[in-house]
Amino acid sequence: MTYRPEIDGLRAVAVVLVLLFHAAFTVMGRSDWFKNGYIGVDIFFVISGYLITLIILKELRETGGFSFGNFYERRARRILPVLFFIIFATFPVAFHLLSDAELYEFLLSVISIIFFVSNIFFYFVYDAGTPTIAPFVHTWSLAVEEQFYLIFPIALLLLRRHIPKFTLPIFFIVFCLSFFFAEYIGRYDYEFNYSQLPSRIWELLAGSFLAFMELERGKVRRNRFNSLLPIAGAAMIFWYVMLLGTDPVHPGYLSIFPILGTMLIIAFASGDDLVGRALSLKPVVATGKMSYSLYLWHLPVYMFLEYAYPNSKNPEKLGWVILTFLLSVISYYLIERPFRNREVIRAKPFFYLIGTTAILIVFLSFPGDRFSIVGSGLAGH
């Protein structure tokens, strides 16, 4: 698959928006400049849908088949090593800082992450009105993606094999159902709508449609009009993040603007246009390549430091961001890159190590007897 640096640049935009959203710097008396910066997660969903579908369709075209083993091995190499590393890194801090009740809930959240159901866990357990600290609450998006990865390849292969002409129409129907469901349910249960797969499928499928179009019709030919479309896409994202008021339903109707904006950038941006050149700058691409580590590290860093040093101001928050980048550089070069390389770590030792690590994390996270009273209290709450 041809490498596109502007995709990594788009990842950088997405993760920086999330970092700024959670840091909430105070500038000119306001700390809500990036109040809609959570849209960075939506950008990630579109990118993921596009790349995953492209990988599957290209393998089908080139080999006539599809290897689930290779697919899930690539996903595991991409996601699990650095995730497990960061979980281990937070254990000493959590045991040192947190009260029994907070530690109990933290450990349960870690177990939910291992089984990719943290979005469900935090929806039912996490109560924002309590002083609970949840440094891994952002893994809800990781759970949504993994749940999608379990369903989508199977659905795509079955449709392509048995009713190929109806593959896109069926996915479009699912897209519409998910989109309208999100708008409807979001008016009654914002948290469910925000964090659960049914309301997010349409965003992932938006990226999938781009992959279908690219493989069926080829790359878009460059012309003067097309070079303006990435600018329009960037403007849509900017408008949603910086100029739109609070979105009462997200994802919902208004979310179509940043989703469409992301699609326009993926479909039309290249080294020949302003947006593509900006996204392809080396520092931007480097940030995008580390975006997964940045995303995983930022909330544990932010929340634990805010917990230890309450009422942090801009200088302290800037320190949060710098520390997040430093830790991400370490985990990217020492964990992410080596584990993604099959020549460095072969499949058998990789799965042995990952399986053993997962079991160890669950063992360490399983609440012991000293949490029994706490656990019954939380259940009653």
Token readout for 358 is 């997962």
- 120's CB contacts (< 8 A; 6+ apart) are 112, 143, 196
**What pLDDT, on the 0 to 100 scale, is given for residue 127?**
57
**What pLDDT, on the 0 to 100 scale, is given for residue 371?**
54
C-alpha distance from residue 170 to each of 157, 162, 212, 292 (Å)? 13, 13, 13, 31
Contact predicate 50/207, CB 8 Å: yes
Token readout for 64 is 């006539």
Question: What's the rounded Cα separation, in Å, for the pair 120 and 283?
Answer: 36
**What pLDDT, on the 0 to 100 scale, is given for residue 201?**
97
Domain span holding position 249: 5-380
Question: Taking the CB of residue 11, how many other CB atoms lie within 10 A of it?
Answer: 26
Contact predicate 230/268, CB 8 Å: yes
Quote the number of domains for the chain.
Answer: 1
Torsion angle of alpha carbons 19, 22, 26, 30, nearest 10°?
A: 120
**What pLDDT, on the 0 to 100 scale, is given for residue 324?**
97
**What pLDDT, on the 0 to 100 scale, is given for residue 319?**
95
Question: What's the rounded Cα separation, in Å, for the pair 10 and 289?
Answer: 10
* The model's pTM: 0.93
Token readout for 111 is 């177990």
- DSSP tag of 222: P
**What pLDDT, on the 0 to 100 scale, is given for residue 368?**
63
**What pLDDT, on the 0 to 100 scale, is given for residue 216?**
79
Q: Where are the alpha helices (DSSP H) in the chain?
A: 5-23, 39-63, 68-97, 100-114, 118-125, 140-162, 167-186, 190-195, 201-217, 229-238, 256-268, 274-279, 282-289, 291-308, 314-331, 337-340, 347-365, 372-380
Over the chain (381 residues), the average pLDDT of each successive run of 10 is 89 97 88 89 97 92 87 94 96 93 91 95 72 86 96 93 91 97 94 95 96 79 76 95 83 95 93 90 96 97 93 92 97 95 90 94 78 46 41
Question: What's the rounded Cα separation, in Å, for the pair 303 and 318?
Answer: 14
Question: What's the rounded Cα separation, in Å, for the pair 181 and 196?
Answer: 11
Question: What's the rounded Cα separation, in Å, for the pair 134 and 49?
Answer: 27
Torsion angle of alpha carbons 227, 230, 233, 235, nearest 10°?
A: -80
**What pLDDT, on the 0 to 100 scale, is given for residue 366?**
83
**What pLDDT, on the 0 to 100 scale, is given for residue 243?**
81
